[in-house]
Amino acid sequence: MRGECICGEIAFELIGELPKLYQCHCSICRKQGGSASNTGLIVAKEIFRWLNGEEKITSYVKPTGFRSDFCSLCGSVVPNPFRDKPYVWVPAGSLDDTQPLEIAVHICVDSKASWDNQIPAELTQYETMPTLTELIDLLHSNVGR
Ligand SMILES: [Zn+2]
Ligand SMILES: [Zn+2]
């Protein structure tokens, strides 16, 4: 599946079986996504490949370590490789969505906005942030490896 930023200068491709999505409602993800939450995938770096425009990426790093990568031309949030782990964070909204994907878990639901009433009760929810290992295991439960 392909993905790109709004202006199309930055494009990437995910090749192979895709894990499930998570939706994070923390204050940082709300600001980054500009809405109630941020929906993302954490994919193994072997299935991720830049197609073009990697040099157009600007990185913002918060003192806490949170990092946001975005297109320096159009401001779209773009994938962000984990520094110390063999994974890449991919914003779900940047994907062309040519194959069905599914949200598996909602996280940081205790921090949700007062107007956020879109969290389905039947899905797994974490009040705060699970550990990265826990989250990755949960999201990859459908991927054969
Ligand atoms: Zn762009
Ligand atoms: Zn978050």
What CATH number should be reported for the domain holding residue 31?
A: 2.170.150.70
Ligand 2 centroid – CA 31 distance (Å): 9
Ligand 2 centroid – CA 128 distance (Å): 9
Q: How many domains does the chain have?
A: 1
Ligand 2 centroid – CA 85 distance (Å): 18
For tokens 């929906």, the residue is: 39
Whether residue 12 lies inside any domain: the answer is: yes
Whether residue 144 lies inside any domain: the answer is: no
Question: Which ligand sits closest to the CA of 57?
Answer: 1
Instruction: Give the residue numbers spanning the domain of 56.
Output: 2-139
Whether residue 145 lies inside any domain: the answer is: no
Kindly report, residue by residue over 35-66, the tens digit of the pLDDT.
999 999 999 999 999 999 999 999 999 999 88
Nearby residues for ligand 2 (ion, Cβ within 5 Å): 24, 26, 29
Contacts of 83 (CB under 8 A, 6+ apart): none
Whether residue 65 lies inside any domain: the answer is: yes
Kindly report, residue by residue over 104-136, the tens digit of the pLDDT.
999 999 999 999 998 999 999 999 999 999 999
DSSP 129: P
pLDDT band at 80 (very low <50, low <70, confident <90, very high): very high
Whether residue 55 lies inside any domain: the answer is: yes
Whether residue 9 lies inside any domain: the answer is: yes
